[in-house]
Amino acid sequence: MADKQQKLDALKRLSLLFDDGAYELLDGSADTGARIAHGTIYGTAAFAYVEGGCGAFGTATAGKLSKVYDLAEKTGSPVVAVYDSKGVDLQGGGLTLDACAELLHRCSRVSGVVPQIAVVAGTCGGFESVCASLADVCLMESKAEFFLTAPFNDLSDSDARKIAGTAEYAQKASAAAVVCDGEEDLFAKTRQLVGMLPSNNLEAPPFCDFSEPEKAPAEDAVLGTVDAGSEIELFAGKGLSSRTYLATVLGSPVGVVSVSGRVCRNDSLKISRLAQLCDAFSLPVVTFLDSEGFLVSADNDMNGGIRNAAILAHTLSQATTVKVTVVTGNAIGSLFSVICGKSASDLRLAWDGAVIGELAPKAAVAVMWPDRIEKDSDIERLAVQYAAEEESAGKAFENGIIDKVIAPENTRSAVSAALDMLAPKRVTNVSRKHGNMPY
C-alpha cells in the first residue's frame, strides 16, 4: 500500500502546504526524517510537523511535534501534522513511551483551542494513529496506511481483516474524514480546510472568496445553497442517510448537514462530530432535513442506535454556535425533536410542502382517523388529506413549531439572511465541569 505510492519528502510536502511554497524551518536537523516549519495557509499563520517517510518515530521526533504544539498554543495558530513514518523507534525503551504520552497530553490540551489537522500521507500506525485521531479533522491519501495494531498480527478471516490498514478501512472506522487521490489533492484539500477555519477559538471565522451555486436548491438543497465548489465532505464512509460538509455561504464558513432517509447509529455519530467541531470554533451549523425518523431496527438500537441518538441530542442541545434547520421534505417523530427542537436549532425553516408531525401520514391516519377507513384504498387518500390539514408546513408555522415557510428556490437567500440575523448570538451554558455524554 504505502510503499507503492509516489511519495514526497518532508520539504516538498511543506512547499505544497504553505502559500507560494514559502515557509521557515524551525528545526536544525533532518536526521529524523521529520521537519517543523511556520508559514501561512490562505493568509492564516500556521505551524506544521511533516514526516518524510524515512525515519522512525522516537524521542527526537516527539520533541519536534511537541515544540509545534507549544508554539501553536502560545500564538493561537492551527497545527498541521503530516504522518508518514516507519513506526515507533523500538530502541528508545521507556523514554519513547514517555515522550509519546506527553505528546498525547499536548494534543488533548489544545483540543478546541486551535484547529488540529492530521494528514496521513504514508504509514501512520500504532501511537501515531492515536495522535492523528485526536485531531479535529484527519485527511488521508488513498494508498496510505492507517492502523492502531498492525494488520498482519490479526490472523482472522473477517471482512474487516481483508481491508485492514487501508483508506477504505479508515473511512469505515471514522478515523479518516477525507480521502484524497494523490498528494497534490491531499495538500490542496488540507489547505482549503485550514482556510475555512479560524486561527483559534477566540478568533472569528475567516471570509472566503465565493461564487454563486450552479444548482437550484430543489435539485440539491446543499449544492443549491452553499457557494460553488466550497464544499468539503467529511466522513463520507459512514452513515448512508446523512452527508456532512464544511462549506461557505456568501463567503462565510459553515458546517452543513444533509439528512435524507432514516437515521442510523452511524448517521447520529457523524452529525454529532461535525456539530462538535463547528461549535468549538464558532462555525454555524445548517441542517437540511428530509426523514421519517430514526432507523427501525432492533440491531441498530442494540449496537449504538439509542446511545448515539442521545449523543446527537446532547451535542446539538449544548452547542452554543448558530444553528439553522431547513425541513425540505419529511420531519417525523423523535428525530424532529432531536434535530429541530428549540434547543437544537435557533431558527427553523421549512419548504412549502414539507410534512412535519409525530407520525408519518399513513400511520397517523390509522391511529387518528380509523373511523374514516372503509377499505385499504382509503388510506392513501386520507394520508394526503391528513398531511395537508394536520402536518403541513403551514400548520407547523401556525403552531409555532417552525419559524418560517419558504419556497425551495429561496433557500439560499433565506439561509444567508438567517445566518446574518443570528451572527451576534451570545449564549452561556450552565456552569459545570463537563456534561456526562453517553458515549
Query: What's the pLDDT at 282?
Result: 97
Residue type, 287: T
Least confident of 6-15, 31-40, 87-96, 173-182: 87-96
Share of the chain above pLDDT 90, in %: 77
b/e map 418-439, b = 16+ CB within 10 Å: bbeeeeeeeeeeeeeeeeeeee
- Sign of the Cα torsion 363, 220, 141, 134 reads negative
7 compared with 314, residue with greater pLDDT: 314
What are the structural domains, with CATH classification, of the chain? 2-195 (3.90.226.10), 207-354+392-422 (3.90.226.10)
Query: What's the pLDDT at 2?
Result: 44
Averaged pLDDT for residues 324-337: 97
pLDDT digits (tens, 9 = 90+) for 352-406: 999 999 999 999 998 999 889 888 888 889 999 999 999 999 999 999 999 999 9
Asked if 324 contacts 418 with a C-beta cutoff of 8 angstroms, the reply is yes
Query: What's the pLDDT at 154?
Result: 67
- Sign of the Cα torsion 315, 319, 325, 331 reads positive
Query: What's the pLDDT at 155?
Result: 63
C-alpha cell at position 275: 456539530
pLDDT digits (tens, 9 = 90+) for 246-290: 999 999 999 999 999 999 999 999 999 999 999 999 999 999 999
Query: What's the pLDDT at 60?
Result: 87
C-alpha cell at position 210: 465565493
Q: Per-residue pLDDT for 3 more than 60?
A: no
Supply φ then ψ for residue 17, to 5 degrees: -80, -45
Query: What's the pLDDT at 163?
Result: 85
149 compared with 183, residue with greater pLDDT: 183
| Diameter over CA atoms, the chain | 85
- CB < 8 Å & 24+ apart, contacts of 61-65: 61/32, 61/33, 61/34, 61/85, 62/96, 62/99, 62/100, 62/102, 62/103, 63/99, 64/27, 64/32, 64/34, 64/35, 64/36, 65/34, 65/36, 65/103, 65/131
188 compared with 86, residue with greater pLDDT: 188
Rg (CA), the chain: 24
Average pLDDT over the chain, rounded to an integer: 92
- Sign of the Cα torsion 119, 125, 128, 131 reads positive
Least confident of 89-93, 202-206, 246-250, 312-316: 89-93
pTM, entire model: 0.94
C-alpha cell at position 188: 490542496
pLDDT digits (tens, 9 = 90+) for 169-208: 999 988 999 999 999 999 999 999 999 999 999 999 999 9
Q: Per-residue pLDDT for 4 more than 60?
A: no
